[in-house]
Chains A and B, each alone.
Chain A
Amino acid sequence: MNRKIALLVILLVVACVLPFVASSYRTFQFTLVMVYAIALLGLNILTGYNGQISLGHGAFYAMGAYCTAILMDKLGMPYWATVPIAGAVCLVVGFLFGLPALRLEGLYLALATFALGVAMPQLLKYKALEHWTGGVQGIVIAKPEAPFGLPINADQWLYFFTLLVTVIMFVLGWNLLRGRVGRALIAIRDHHIAAEAMGVNNALYKSLAFGVSAMYTGIAGALGAIAVQFVAPDSFTIFLSIVLLVGIVIGGLASISGALYGALFIQFVPNIADEVSKAAPWAIFGIFMILFVYLMPTGVAGAVRILLARTVRKAHNHAANLKEETP
């Protein structure tokens, strides 16, 4: 446990130093990594822990992004105030969407969410909403400057703001998943009848999982919109939903740290693929994906866990050997 805390502290220190050594552009990329990490954690709560497959989480991401953009652009709200509102809106919508979706199991739920993901860009272009959404043209929003006269640039400030939100969301997520709720979610995933027999309210927990998951993704969307300074229907195609699903599988299902690995993967691997081949970047991306899945069947988080366990065991053995030699 101490070792874990030490690792976390190191990670946090590295995260705090990063924007001062990396360029603005890299800082911006790492901001996006954290944004994706929040979204992936959200999706992981639903899919990894609760076993409900969603192919439409890009829709919640879009919803969060649009909430922020509209509140900032039309109502002149400060950016930080829009993030919790975006989360709340997605929580409610996600919960409500989860209610009827409860009757759908496995692949049927995947299809229902897929429909949501496909429909979202077109809904955003809908005439009646155009006054708010800006139609195909989307909404351009201003970039927040660092407050209180802090001597850092806008990219660095946004990075720290996102870091703060990320830490809060991860602590909340960890707190939620390690206790009763987490056990209930996993029990439903593993055997819902047994869970029901043990007194877990399946319907409530499944809807809640959906709502919380949507809230995480919505908050990620809100932060993403602030970082990119622009939202448009073309930003949130069905591809986004699929990429998020790829992220949690590569990162590690039912793992909190997996969200971070998955985010690094979906942020950087497409760029590497593009540099390897202009003609078929997605083929290269596919090769990377297959490699990851074959070499790390439990995701990057699983592989890291095994590696850590091995080194710990080795260290133990080593210590034991030393003891035997010294009497």
Chain B
Amino acid sequence: MIRLLVTLLVLALAAPVVQAQKKYDPGASDTEIRIGNTNPYSGPASAYGTIGKAIAAYFKMVNDQGGINGRKINFISYDDGYSPPKTVEMVRKLVEQDQVLFVFQTLGTPSNTAIQKYMNTRKVPQLHVATGATKWNDPKNNPWTMGWQPNYQTEAQVYARHILQTKPDAKIGILFQNDDYGKDYVKGLKDGLGDKAKSMIVAEVSYEVTDPTVDSQIVQLQAAGANVFFNVTTPKFAAQAIRKAYDIGWKPVHYLNNVSFSVGSVLTPAGLEKSVGLITTAYFKDPTDKRWADDTAVKQWETFMKKYYPDGNLADSFNMYAYSVAITLHQVLRQAGSDLTRENIMRQAASMKDFRVDTLLPRILINTSKDDYAPIEAVQLQRFNGKQWELFGDVITAGH
């Protein structure tokens, strides 16, 4: 009897202590964590839709394995058709009606721009957004927004460093798409070149997305005497640029932005033999790359895909991307433990120390701090050998 009383007393005393350790904001409870997401499942950008589906599949797997710290993940994803007003509507639904703890991997630069102010006013985390723009790394003004992938400026700085190391006498010609994305790259390259930017860059030409071709721009760059070509173009224009440069006999050292690295949709239409020697960057393991055929992490990914996302395309690198970013969030939530407040989620996301996602390239680590909202800042250069991309050199981290 006394023993029972003591037990009860201890329990009564302990209960508030346990309670005090658990802290919840809307969307979190003892049994569940609700996460919101928008993706273009329909419309012109629906090729990206597979990212949302793969992430949903990942959390289904996590739930089957018992969830995170005993809580099931409820991943709610809506279609925004890549239309910013729709994103605003859907994100408001997620935050105000579905009461999610935070949103994760909302896709697209315009869509995320449209909701950024709302998220930061409401103080709801806008975590690991799916866009490469540099502006997501701005913890001072937007402490509730964070990117994930290496941003365009980071990537351009890596090219700049490689140019300075290997070709000190470079005469650089730049072709860029005249919008945010293009300008981001050009700024990164100039920052990376530092004082030498003025003397090294001999020509800078742009094109509009509405232009039919970039042929005349390529001729212009050749005429300016450039021996290094920095090619900041989206897939269709990238293919044109590669072909035209080859056809007019211009043989610069050719840096192609990561946006257009796809062998299937860029290099094949341009001509594989014309693409030999192209240099670009990579940060995660390409599932079609034979080098990773026996890699444990890639094998695990394949098993996951077959069991949880059998409709998904095993050759589509977006599925690898989705898997990798979901693993990152998994870690953030593991770190957050039972303190599931929005503030703590953001704090944990901003205190990743040398976290390793095995589907990223070897030696690429995720690091963040309260002043550094750019999780992945390292990339590796790769060169096209006529059949596939070949990694070379070390993993390079962009300097700050």
Contacts and interface: CB of A to CB of B under 8 A. Distances in A.
Interface of A: 23-26, 28-29, 32, 122, 125-127, 135-138, 140, 224, 228-230, 232, 234-235, 237, 239, 274, 278-279, 281-282
A25 B178 CA distance: 36
A240 to B, nearest CB: 8
A122 B89 CA distance: 24
Nearest to B94: A25
Contacts of B108: 234
B110 interface: yes
B224 interface: no
A137 B83 contact: no
Contact of A125 (B41, B117, B179): B179
Nearest to B53: A278
A23 B26 CA distance: 16
A3 to B, nearest CB: 36
Contacts of B79: 274, 278, 281
Q: Which has the most chain B C-beta neighbours within 10 Å: A232, A237, A239?
A: A232
Determine the interface band of chain B, counting residues with CB < 8 A from chain A. 35 or more
Given A25-B96, A282-B42, A122 B77 contact: no
B89 A29 contact: yes
Contacts of A125: 179, 208-210
A252 B93 CA distance: 29
B97 interface: yes
Given A127-B178, A229-B117, A230-B88, A25 B97 contact: yes
B89 A281 contact: no
Residue from B77, B88, B95 with most neighbouring chain A CB atoms (10 Å)? B88
Contact of B78 (A122, A126, A274): A274
Interface in B106-160: 108-110, 113-114, 116-118
Contacts of A234: 82-84, 108, 110
A310 to B, nearest CB: 37
Contacts of A235: 83-85, 110
B113 A122 contact: no
Contacts of A137: 109-110, 113, 179-180
Main secondary structure of the interface of A (DSSP, over half): helix
Contacts of A126: 208
Interface string B181-213: 100000000000000000000000000111000
Contact of A140 (B77, B113, B210): B113
Given A28-B92, A125-B208, A127-B208, A136 B110 contact: yes
14 contacts: A23-B96, A25-B92, A135-B179, A137-B109, A137-B180, A138-B114, A140-B116, A228-B89, A229-B118, A230-B88, A237-B44, A274-B78, A278-B41, A278-B79
B96 A281 contact: no
B83 A228 contact: no
B85 A228 contact: yes
Given A25-B93, A125-B209, A138 B43 contact: no
Contact of A228 (B53, B84, B109, B178): B84
A25 B79 CA distance: 17
B76 to A, nearest CB: 11
Nearest to A25: B96
Contact of B210 (A24, A122, A135, A228): A122
Nearest to A233: B110
Given A29-B89, A137-B179, A138-B84, 7 more contacts: A25-B92, A25-B97, A122-B209, A127-B178, A229-B88, A229-B114, A235-B110
Given A23-B97, A25-B93, A135-B179, A232 B113 contact: yes
List 10 A-B pairs, minimum CB-CB distance, nearest first. A25-B96, A230-B114, A136-B179, A232-B110, A228-B85, A274-B79, A235-B84, A234-B110, A25-B92, A122-B210
A26 B89 CA distance: 10
A152 B288 CA distance: 56
B89 A28 contact: yes
A138 B113 contact: yes
B113 to A, nearest CB: 6
A229 B210 CA distance: 27
